[in-house]
């Protein structure tokens, strides 16, 4: 313990930290509290692009196994006014879960139990640390699945997915986290335990929708420990189709046409020419042959339909007719089709997606959303801003996050975290493209969240609404100990400093 205190001599709580940690060990058990550097280092960074030498080392990491454990941790932290940082899988790309002011990280991955499967009502109750992959592995023998499907699913936790309001592959059919959640257990910053939501009913018009307030709150209001979600029948058959389009706006028009016809798409993605090159590069690397792309086509519309065999066959036939009428061409390279789906859904990275094109730099992204009619405008801004800062593009992926045409955009670029200029230019790119999205009546984040990367821009998006958010924050967390330094610019937080 003495060694730890010596390391923490500059920390503002250092004078009472030893006492805090001793009480934490007494309350929780020594085996569930870690405070040596090696144990804490994995919790110092997430997937955010940042400077190579930068990290945010917490002062302790707690490994709870139950809601009761979390209550004990929070009671002690509340008394000592030590910051509390919930940590799921650490797959975030916005610094949402970094201990920017030190404090204690609550690592929820140890809370990964399946608590109840209600097959009759198609609901599943799990602890917040269960990964998306583990949930679906459990559901598969029962013929069910949870269609929230991020690429980080082997590590991403259900609690973090709720707190960051992240999206996935199948939003155009099943929606987002707000559409799956039925109720949750939450530990407030004072250690009180509450249950929020509508039990197992699909909807409610009773009372304030407090559970919905937690969605996207990034752990700034409390800690989710248990979640009840809707689950769905696993589709019997799926057809993956890649269609070549001349421009991304053609993909949007095609989606409107399909949606208007009554066809219920399972997933829909639009990729620009850079992303198309990304997949064809991997194909060429594997086969030694270049993929043939008809002249004049520089965008990709990827669709899946799923269900009974006859429904899938009818849907494919109907979609094919509409696509041909709109001038789109079916991409008939079956290996690339399989490779695209594997990279998005089965995550066979080494064979498909993460080819030699990404060995020298990391993946970073801006995640704006704009009205569907402004897709080409925001794409031109992406091209202009990346050129301005000399940033190499990975490409654009347009997801659809809700059961309608609902663009959620990933503008991906390469970032070399060993090169300070590359990291600085990435931050400038994210800032500029975010402002462009706001000018187009969109949002600066559609799935990553505000975290520490966008918090200085939140007044531009929310205006006076940010004042109301801060009042909500203070009502839940009057001591401002829950995941400080996130969402709100420092002028709102009297304890804040530059991070």
pLDDT digits (tens, 9 = 90+) for 264-295: 999 999 999 988 887 787 778 878 887 888 88
pLDDT digits (tens, 9 = 90+) for 51-61: 888 889 999 99
pLDDT per position as a tens digit, 204-258? 999 999 999 999 999 999 999 999 999 999 999 999 999 999 999 999 999 999 9
Q: CATH number of the domain at 217, please.
A: 3.30.465.10
Q: Domain range holding 468?
A: 455-492
pLDDT of residue 168: 83
Instruction: Kindly state whether residues 267 and 246 are assigned to the same domain.
Output: yes
Question: Does the pLDDT of residue 3 top 60, yes or no?
Answer: no
Task: Name the pLDDT band for 311 (thresholds 50, 70, 90).
Answer: very high
Pair 408, 480 in one domain: no
My answer on whether 132 and 228 are in the same domain is yes
Q: Is this structure's pTM higher than 0.85?
A: yes
Query: Which of 233, 253, 272 finishes a domain?
Result: 233
Tell me whether residue 449 is in a domain. no
Do 381 and 270 lie in a common domain?
no
Q: pLDDT-derived band of residue 191, with 50, 70 and 90 as boundaries?
A: very high
Within a domain: 81:
yes
Residue finishing a domain among 233, 265, 299: 233
Is residue 309's pLDDT more than 70?
Answer: yes
50 and 89 in a single domain? The answer is yes
- Percent of the residues in the chain that have a pLDDT greater than 90, as a whole number: 76
Count of domains observed in the chain? 5
In a domain, 128, yes or no: yes
Per-residue pLDDT at 122 exceeds 90: yes
Read off the pLDDT band of 7 (50, 70, 90).
Answer: very low
State the Cα–Cα distance between residues 458 and 94, nearest whole angstrom: 14
**For residue 152, what pLDDT is reported?**
83
Residues 380, 468 within the same domain: no
Residue 474 banded pLDDT, cuts 50, 70, 90 = very high
Domain-located, residue 355? no
Residue 284 included in any domain: yes
- Pairwise CA distance, residues 18 & 1, whole Å: 7
Residue 428 is assigned to a structural domain of this protein: yes
Same domain (yes/no): 136, 115 = yes
Residue 347, pLDDT score:
53
CATH of the domain at 299: 3.30.70.3450
**pLDDT at residue number 1:** 41
Q: Mind listing the pLDDT tens digit for each residue in 72-119?
A: 999 999 999 999 999 999 988 999 999 999 999 999 999 999 999 999
Q: What is the CATH number of the domain that holds 60?
A: 3.30.43.10
Model pLDDT for residues 332-380, shown as the tens digit of each residue: 888 888 888 887 776 554 444 444 444 567 889 999 999 999 999 999 9
Reply yes or no on whether the pLDDT at 308 is more than 90: yes
Would 497 be classed as within a structural domain? no
* Residue 498 placed within a domain: no
Token pair, residue 368, equals 């704006």
Burial call 103-134: b when 16+ CB within 10 Å, e when fewer: bbbbbbbbbbeeeebeeeeebbbbbbbbbbeb
pLDDT for position 346: 67
Give residue 15's pLDDT: 65
d(CA 164, CA 128): 13
pLDDT bracket for residue 486 (50, 70, 90): very high
The pLDDT value recorded for residue 13 is 55
Average pLDDT rounded to a whole number, residues 183-204: 95
Q: Do residue 222 and residue 311 come from a single domain?
A: no
Q: What percent of the chain has pLDDT over 70?
A: 93
Residue 252 shares a structural domain with residue 227: no
73 with 159, same domain? no
CATH code of the domain covering residue 388 = 3.30.70.260
């Amino acid at each position: 313990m003495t060694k730890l205190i010596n390391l923490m001599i500059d920390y503002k709580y250092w004078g009472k930290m030893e006492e805090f940690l001793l009480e934490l060990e007494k309350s929780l058990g020594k085996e569930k509290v870690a405070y040596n550097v090696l144990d804490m280092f994995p919790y110092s960074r997430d997937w955010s692009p940042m400077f190579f030498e930068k990290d945010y080392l917490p002062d302790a990491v707690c490994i709870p196994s139950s809601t009761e454990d979390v209550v004990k941790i929070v009671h002690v932290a509340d008394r000592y006014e030590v910051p509390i940082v919930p940590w799921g899988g650490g797959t975030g790309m916005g610094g949402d879960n970094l201990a920017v002011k030190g404090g204690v990280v609550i690592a929820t991955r140890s809370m990964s139990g399946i608590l109840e499967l209600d097959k009759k009502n198609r609901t599943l109750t799990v602890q917040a640390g269960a990964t998306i992959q583990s949930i679906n592995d459990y559901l598969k023998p029962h013929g069910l699945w949870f269609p929230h499907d991020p690429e980080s699913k082997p590590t991403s936790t259900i609690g973090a997915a709720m707190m960051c309001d992240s999206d996935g592959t199948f939003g155009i059919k099943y929606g987002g986290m707000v559409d799956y959640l039925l109720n949750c257990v939450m530990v407030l910053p004072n250690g009180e335990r509450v249950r929020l939501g509508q039990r197992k009913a699909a909807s409610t018009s009773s009372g304030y929708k407090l559970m919905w307030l937690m969605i996207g709150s990034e752990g700034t209001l409390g800690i989710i420990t248990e979640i009840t979600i809707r689950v769905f029948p696993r589709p019997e058959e799926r057809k993956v189709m890649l269609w070549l389009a001349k421009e991304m706006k053609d993909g949007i028009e095609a989606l409107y046409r399909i949606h208007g016809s009554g066809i219920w798409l399972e997933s829909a993605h639009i990729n620009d020419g850079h992303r198309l090159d990304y997949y064809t590069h991997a194909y060429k690397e594997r086969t030694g042959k270049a993929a043939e792309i008809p002249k004049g086509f520089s965008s990709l519309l990827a669709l899946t339909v799923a269900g009974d065999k006859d429904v899938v066959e009818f849907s494919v036939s109907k979609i094919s007719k509409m696509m041909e009428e709109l001038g789109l061409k079916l991409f008939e390279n079956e290996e690339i089709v399989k490779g695209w789906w594997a990279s998005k859904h089965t995550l066979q990275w080494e064979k498909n997606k993460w080819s030699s094109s990404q060995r020298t730099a990391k993946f970073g992204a801006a995640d704006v959303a704009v009205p569907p009619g402004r897709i080409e405008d925001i794409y031109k801004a992406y091209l202009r801003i990346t050129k301005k800062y000399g940033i190499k593009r990975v490409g654009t992926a347009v997801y659809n996050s809700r059961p309608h045409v609902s663009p959620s955009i990933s503008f991906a670029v390469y970032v070399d975290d060993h090169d300070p200029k590359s990291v600085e230019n990435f931050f400038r790119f994210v800032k500029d493209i975010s402002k462009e999205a706001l000018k187009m009546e969109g949002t600066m984040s559609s799935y990553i969240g505000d975290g520490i990367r966008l918090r200085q821009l939140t007044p531009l998006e929310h205006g006076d609404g940010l004042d109301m958010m801060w009042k909500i924050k203070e009502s839940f967390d009057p001591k401002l100990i829950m995941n400080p330094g996130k969402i709100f610019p420092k002028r709102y937080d009297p304890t804040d400093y530059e991070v």
